[in-house]
Structure 1
Amino acid sequence: MAITINKVELRNLQIEDYKELKKSMIEAYPEMVDSYWKEQDIEKLLSIFPEGQLVIVADDVVVGSALSLLVTEDFAFKSRTYKQITGNYTFSTHQDDGEVLYGIDVFINPKYRGLRLGRRLYDARKELCEQLNLKSIIFAGRIPNYGKYANEISPKEYLEKVKRKEIYDPVLSFQLSNDFHEVRVLKNYLEGDKASQEYAVLLEWNNIYYDDSPKLINTYKSVVRLGLIQWQMRSLGNLESLFEQAEFFIDAVSGYGSDFALFPEFFTAPLMADYNHLSEAEAIKELARYTEAVKMKFQEFAISYNINIITGSMPYIENGHVYNVGFLCKRDGTNEMYRKIHITPNEVFHWGITGGDIIQTFDTDCGKIGVVICYDVEFPELARLMADEGMNILFVPFLTDTQNGYTRVRHCAQARAIENECYVAIAGCVGNLPKVNNMDIQFAQAAVFTPSDFAFPSNGIKAEATPNTEMTLIVDVDMDLLKELHEHGSVNTMKDRRHDLYQLKKMK
C-alpha cells in the first residue's frame, strides 16, 4: 500500500472542497489536458443537484469524487456524446423529475487507488438511487486500454474480451464487477480521449426497488406478517364448536397484525367422529358436507378480522369425485380454491380422493403467493412453476401422523425455499383423535423457512413452533430481501438454470 490512511470519509461535495478537488482531477487525468471542472461548473452542479455530488476524503484531503445529473431514461439512451448528455458542459440537461441518475464523472487520485475507494463511491450512488426512487444509474464508461488493441480488434470485440476476463481494462472491468451491464458501444463519445480512441461503453445498473406506481394505500408491503396455527385435534360437538375454536386463533393472530392466517390440512377432521360407524370413504363424504359452510364462515372471518386466511384443506365433492381442497379467503371478501394435486396412497386407499389438475398462484395485497397441500411439497415441479410466475411465499398446510412423514414435508419445504428463492410456511395438526378412523395420531411442528444466503438465518429457519403443542407462530418475512437475493445473491438459482438443456412447463 503506497499510502497509509488514518481516516476515510464519504460525504457530499462542498464548494470549499474545490481546490483539493481540482488537484485530484488533474492527477487522475494526466493524459487529458485541461480536463478538470472549473469552479463555476462545480457551483452550478451544487446549485441544481447537491445530493448527487459526492467526495471521498482521506485524512481531510479530497482524493476522489462522483458527479451526477438527473435525466430522463429516454434522453440517457439517446445521447451519443458527452457534450450532449451535459448540455455542452452547461448541465442544462438536468431535470429534477428525471428517473435516471446519470454519472458524468467519477475518479480517484492515482496515489489512493487500490484501496477500494472507488467502490465506496459506486455503492453510495446506488444507495442514492434507491433513496430517490430512481429507475437506474446510467453512464458511459471510458475504455482506456482499448488504444493498445485498436489495430487488432473492434470495440465490440474488446468489450467481449473484457467481459470474459481475457483483457483487463481499469475502468470497464471495475464497472462490470459492480453489477453494471453494457447497453451499447458509443463512438466519438469524449473528444480528446485518445487512450479510448474516443470510444465508450454505455452502462446501466437497475434499481430493483424502483416503484413507478401511484402511492396508494396497501399497494405494496415490504414486510409481511404470517400467523401459523398449530391446531390441536380434539373432540368437537358440532360445527359451531369448530368455528369458535378457529375464531379464537384468527382473533389472536389478527390481533398481532398478521397479514395471513394458515390452518393445517384436514383440520376439520374431528367432525367425522359422528360418522365413525361408516366406512372411511363414506365418512369423508359426510365431512365434505361441511366444506361450503366452513368456506363461507372463513370469508366472514377474513373480512371482520382484516386478514387473509388460508383454510388448510378439507374434502370437497364435485361431479361425484372427492377432492382435497382449501380456500384462500381474502380480506376483501373474495375467495379462491386450490386443490391437492398429488394424492398419497393412504388417501386413495381409504378415502378414494382424486387429485386436482390446476397449478396456480394467487395475487394478494401482500404480493403473489402459492399454496400446496402436504404431499405436494415433495414434488419440486409445482413450486418451481409457481416461482416462475412470481410467487414469493409458499404456504404448505399439512397433516402427518408420524415424525417420518413430517420429516419428508419439512425437508422438502426447506428445499423449495432454497431452490425457488422464496419463503415457505408450513402448519400442521397435533395431538390425538381416537374416535375418528384413519386420523388417530398427529405429529407437527409449524415453521417458516427461508433461502440460504447472508441476509437470512444461516440454517434457513426463520422461526419454528414447539413440536406437538397447540400454539400459534407469528413471523415477519421481508420481501425486499428476496429482491436483493434474486439480483445479488451468492448464487442465483432461478437465473442460472440451463434453459438450453431443459425446460419445465404446464401441460394445461
Structure 2
Amino acid sequence: MRKQMIVYADGKPIEIVIRNYTCSDFPGMIDIQRESFPPPFPSELWWNEAQLREHVARFPEGALCAEIEGRLIGSVTGLKVGEAQLHADHSWASVTDGGYIRNHDPQGDTLYIVDICVIPEMRKAGIGKWLMQSMYETVVHLGLKRLLGGGRMPGYHRVADVVTPEAYLAGVLSGKYNDPVITFLLRCGRMPVGVVPNYLEDEESRNHAALMEWRNPFLA
C-alpha cells in the first residue's frame, strides 16, 4: 500500500504518505514509540527490532506507517487470526504473541489490531483515523470478514467504584461518558462487541478493554 493525502495541522494543509513499513523504517518506528511514550514509561515496552522484523516478514500488509517528508509520525500494526484464537478471555499478549505476531494465521479471516500510535504533535491532524481507514481498506483488499481489536478504557478508573466496565462502555455509547480511546474508535467506525477482563495491565482501565470491530461491508 502507498497513498498520499492532505491533512490539516493547526489549520495548515500538510501532505502525508501512508505506506507499508519495511526494515529500513525500524529506527523511525522506535522513535514514534519514544516520542509517544516518554519516561517514566519503560523503554523495554517500545517496539524492538525483533518484533518489527517479525511484522514485516510474517504480514507486511498489516504493517503500515504514516510519514511527512520522510519522517515517520504514526503507525498501525495488525495480524490475521482465526476464531480459535479469539476465546472469550483472550488477552493482548496471547492474541498478538506479545507483539511478535508469530501466531499470525495466513488463513485467518479477522485482521486483529496489535497497536496504533501517533506522535503527540500530530494527534489533532486525524492521522490515527486515516491509519485505521487504511486498515479497513486492507480488510477489503484481502477479502477478510472483519477488523477486531481491544480498546483501552482510560476513563473507566474515574467511575470504577460505582459502575461495571460494561455499564461504563454503555455510558460511552449513550453519551454519558467521554472516553478518549473508545470515543476515537467509535469515530473511526468501530463498534463494541463486548468487554474483556485482564486484557492488558492498565490501571486506568482496571485491566479491562472494549473489544471493538469493523465488519467488511462487502461480504454478506
TM-score bracket for the superposition, by shorter chain length: 0.7 to 0.9
Q: Report deviation, 1:82.
A: 1.1
d(CA) in 2 for partners of 1:158, 1:107: 24
| 1:157-196 deviations in Å (ceiling 9; x for gaps) | 21011111221111101112222221111111112x2222
User: Which 5+ residue runs of structure 2 have no aligned equivalent?
Assistant: 1-8
Q: Report deviation, 1:32.
A: 3.9
14-23 vs 64-73, which deviates more?
14-23
With the length of structure 1 as denominator, give the TM-score of the two structures: 0.39
User: Which 5+ residue runs of structure 1 have no aligned equivalent?
Assistant: 212-508
1:311-460 to 2 correspondence within 5 Å?
Answer: none
Q: SS where residue 7 of structure 1 aligns?
A: strand
Q: Label 1:110 to 1:74 Cα distance change in 2 as closer, same or farther (>3 A).
A: same
Q: Label 1:6 to 1:180 Cα distance change in 2 as closer, same or farther (>3 A).
A: closer
Letter in 1 for 2:196: L
d(CA) in 1 for partners of 2:76, 2:180: 17
Q: Label 1:87 to 1:79 Cα distance change in 2 as closer, same or farther (>3 A).
A: farther
Q: Report deviation, 1:33.
A: 2.1
Match of 2:34 among 22, 26, 32: 26
Aligned to 1:9: 17
Report the structure number with the largest CA radius of gyration: 1
Q: Report deviation, 1:79.
A: 5.2
Q: SS where residue 168 of structure 1 aligns?
A: coil
Q: SS where residue 14 of structure 2 aligns?
A: coil
Letter in 2 for 1:13: Y
Aligned to 2:6: none
Aligned to 1:194: 203
Q: Report deviation, 1:2.
A: 5.1
Match of 1:185 among 192, 195, 201: 195
Q: Report deviation, 1:90.
A: 3.4
Letter in 2 for 1:19: P
Aligned to 2:104: 94
The answer to whether the Cα contact below 8 Å between 1:3 and 1:112 also exists between their aligned partners in 2 is: no
The answer to whether the Cα contact below 8 Å between 1:101 and 1:138 also exists between their aligned partners in 2 is: yes
1:144 and 2:136 equivalent?
no
The answer to whether the Cα contact below 8 Å between 2:55 and 2:100 also exists between their aligned partners in 1 is: no
Q: SS where residue 172 of structure 2 aligns?
A: helix
The answer to whether the Cα contact below 8 Å between 2:89 and 2:196 also exists between their aligned partners in 1 is: no
| 1:28-72 deviations in Å (ceiling 9; x for gaps) | 234642321101110111000011100111232111111000111
Letter in 2 for 1:170: P
Q: SS where residue 41 of structure 1 aligns?
A: helix
d(CA) in 2 for partners of 1:48, 1:179: 27
d(CA) in 2 for partners of 1:157, 1:29: 29
Match of 1:57 among 42, 49, 67: 67
1:272-311 to 2 correspondence within 5 Å?
Answer: none
1:72-87 to 2 correspondence within 5 Å?
Answer: 72-78=82-88, 80-87=90-97
Give the superposed CA RMSD.
1.9
| 1:112-150 deviations in Å (ceiling 9; x for gaps) | 011111111111111110010000001111112222222
The answer to whether the Cα contact below 8 Å between 1:76 and 1:102 also exists between their aligned partners in 2 is: no
With the length of structure 2 as denominator, give the TM-score of the two structures: 0.88
d(CA) in 2 for partners of 1:97, 1:114: 36
Aligned to 2:132: 122
d(CA) in 2 for partners of 1:125, 1:102: 10
Q: SS where residue 95 of structure 1 aligns?
A: coil
Q: How many residues align?
A: 210
d(CA) in 1 for partners of 2:188, 2:100: 29
The answer to whether the Cα contact below 8 Å between 1:137 and 1:205 also exists between their aligned partners in 2 is: yes
State the structure with bigger RCO (CA 8 A, min sep 6), 1 or 2: 2
Q: Label 1:103 to 1:143 Cα distance change in 2 as closer, same or farther (>3 A).
A: same
Q: Label 1:29 to 1:5 Cα distance change in 2 as closer, same or farther (>3 A).
A: farther
d(CA) in 1 for partners of 2:198, 2:34: 22
Match of 1:135 among 115, 132, 145: 145
1:209 and 2:218 equivalent?
yes
1:198-277 to 2 correspondence within 5 Å?
Answer: 198-210=207-219
| 1:267-300 deviations in Å (ceiling 9; x for gaps) | xxxxxxxxxxxxxxxxxxxxxxxxxxxxxxxxxx
d(CA) in 1 for partners of 2:52, 2:13: 27
The answer to whether the Cα contact below 8 Å between 1:5 and 1:58 also exists between their aligned partners in 2 is: no
Q: Report deviation, 1:77.
A: 4.5
Q: Label 1:142 to 1:29 Cα distance change in 2 as closer, same or farther (>3 A).
A: farther
Q: Report deviation, 1:3.
A: 8.8
d(CA) in 2 for partners of 1:70, 1:36: 22
| 1:8-37 deviations in Å (ceiling 9; x for gaps) | 111111221222221221332346423211
Letter in 2 for 1:54: L
1:168 and 2:178 equivalent?
yes
Letter in 2 for 1:132: L
Could you list the runs of 4 or more consecutive aligned residues of structure 1 that deviate by over 3 angstroms after TM superposition? Answer: 1-6, 29-32
**Residue identity (%):** 28
